[in-house]
Amino acid sequence: MGVVQTLLDALGEDVVTTAPDRLEAMRTDRSGWVAEGSPLALVEARTVEEVQEAMRIADAARTPVVPRGAGTGLAGGAVGTEGSIVVSVERMNRILEISAEDEYAVVEPGVITADLNRALEEHGLWYAPDPVSKNISTIGGNIATNAGGLVCTKYGVTREAVLALDVVLPGGTLLRTGRRTIKGVTGYDLTALFVGSEGTLGIVVGATVRALPAPKGETMTLGALFSDVKAAASASAAITAAGLRPSVMELIDAATLNLIRDYLGHEVFENLLGTSAGGSYFLVQFDAGTGALAGTRALQLVEENGGTGTLSHDPAEAEGLLRIRGSANPALTAAGTMLVEDVAVPRSRMPEMFARIEEIARRHDVRIPTIAHAGDGNLHPTFIFDGPDVPPEVWAAADEMFEASTEFGGTLTGEHGVGLLKRRWLKGELGEDSYRLQAEVKAVFDPNGIMNPGKVFD
């Protein structure tokens, strides 16, 4: 208990806790993965200095550190493993500055993403990346995973929205990367290196993020049903190929839509969608600034690919069409134990990827309802099973799915990260040279290997 006592002496009981129920909660995240052992302590830092102190002590003791925000990750990246110190930044949740004239915000890492947007709204601004978890996840966690979301197809992922970071490194050094200007090329882009590094290099304790002028004006929303998910994927690819630039383009397969109907109840579902018939659901939204003909052209492409759709300019109706998509996660959660996957493929390969997922599910006799950020070619096939342990046939099916994503020129994770869940496939995608170089880059920032060991890299 040497390191825990040292932390307690330095930071006090208000910051360092060893209460078993609190540590128990740290052993998991929204991936469902539960660490085998228990962390030694939870450090709930309130200031940059407290994070520095914890990192000095942990590095000197060679004790693993697991950085954590709200614990909403889907890859196990923030799971508090046996013998580690979990350093939570949830309490560091102040918005320090909003500059309307220079279009940025300076935030602490524990700010909930949606809270930032509420604060920006008063200034006519908007932080674009919108992971589905935005109401419960933190900016720090979004940065750690390079989070995506629905509007990334038009506005970019978290990396594009981060201008500068303050990072505490093992040993306690406070490193500042990036700048407040839009452009800047002094030295290497360490900001981009930290975005998506899943807590393996240091702890983000501050961020300067871009705020864009909030899109104003009328949106056009298209909801469509297809009897075949591959046809819906073809319609999506056709909309991309036509250069129509939707701000949202989402696809929900028939299995997921059935679960959503069960979850919402048939009456509510029918009110939202105008029918209780099933099928694959395809949602497209164009925001202000898109040519007026984009919606009509998209509807035409839907129909050419065998779908039936309605195009609406009415905000209430649009809200309803979006609510179907918004109900996917709770509906899937209610259906059983989940393993959410996150493959991405070039957008033209989506129909093939959907076909492959169907084939894999059939052959292994597993349930894989699938939703997709279709505008990015980013699919979330979700394995549903009777928990808590992942059955071997699910791992076997997942193996084949990752192989398929590589075969189609894609990647094993579009936006959730590697964490613990996808380590087994990482070297296969990166190749030996890149894997080795990345491990060496990690060692530059973390020579004693205390940062989130076992995550991302083996």
Helix and strand numbers (H, E) in the chain are: 18, 18
Site size toward a copy of itself, by CB under 8 A: 87
Site of tokens 């048939």: 266
Q: How far is the CB of 223 from a copy of itself (least distance, A)?
A: 23
- My answer on whether omega of the bond before 215 falls inside 30° of 0, hence cis, is no
Length of the chain in residues, anyone? 458
- Beta carbons of 276 and 325 less than 8 angstroms apart: no
Question: Which is nearer to a copy of itself, 2 or 186 (by Cβ)?
Answer: 186
- What per-residue string of b and e applies to 216-254 under the rule 16 or more CB within 10 Å gives b? eeebbbbbbbbebbbbbbbbbbbbbeeebbbbbbbbbbb
| Residue range at the interface with a copy of itself (CB under 8 A); choices 209-217, 269-277, 317-325, 363-371 | 209-217
Residues 271-290 that bind a copy of itself (CB under 8 A): 288-290
Which string of x and - marks every residue 318-337 that binds a copy of itself (by CB under 8 A)? Answer: --------------------
Which string of x and - marks every residue 334-373 that binds a copy of itself (by CB under 8 A)? Answer: ----------xxxxx------------------------x
Joined tokens for residue 141: 């966690």
Question: Which is nearer to a copy of itself, 137 or 290 (by Cβ)?
Answer: 290
89 vs 314: CA distance, rounded Å? 40
Residues 42-61 that bind a copy of itself (CB under 8 A): none
| Residue range at the interface with a copy of itself (CB under 8 A); choices 14-22, 252-260, 318-326, 438-446 | 438-446
Q: How far is the CB of 49 from a copy of itself (least distance, A)?
A: 17
Residues 126-185 that bind a copy of itself (CB under 8 A): 145-146, 148, 152-153, 156-157, 159-160, 173, 175-177, 179-185
Angle of the 254-264 helix axis to the 266-273 helix axis, nearest 10: 120
- Beta carbons of 306 and 227 less than 8 angstroms apart: yes
Q: How far is the CB of 289 from a copy of itself (least distance, A)?
A: 4
Q: If binding is defined by CB under 8 A, does position 291 make contact with a copy of itself?
A: yes
451 vs 94: CA distance, rounded Å? 25
Joined tokens for residue 64: 């693993």
Q: If binding is defined by CB under 8 A, does position 456 make contact with a copy of itself?
A: yes
383 vs 195: CA distance, rounded Å? 28
235 vs 244: CA distance, rounded Å? 12
Selected binder of a copy of itself within 445, 451, 452, 453 (CB under 8 A): 445
Q: What is the largest CA-CA distance in the chain?
A: 69
Question: Which is nearer to a copy of itself, 46 or 245 (by Cβ)?
Answer: 245
Which string of x and - marks every residue 212-251 that binds a copy of itself (by CB under 8 A)? Answer: -xx-xx-------------------x--xx-xxx------
Q: If binding is defined by CB under 8 A, does position 31 make contact with a copy of itself?
A: no
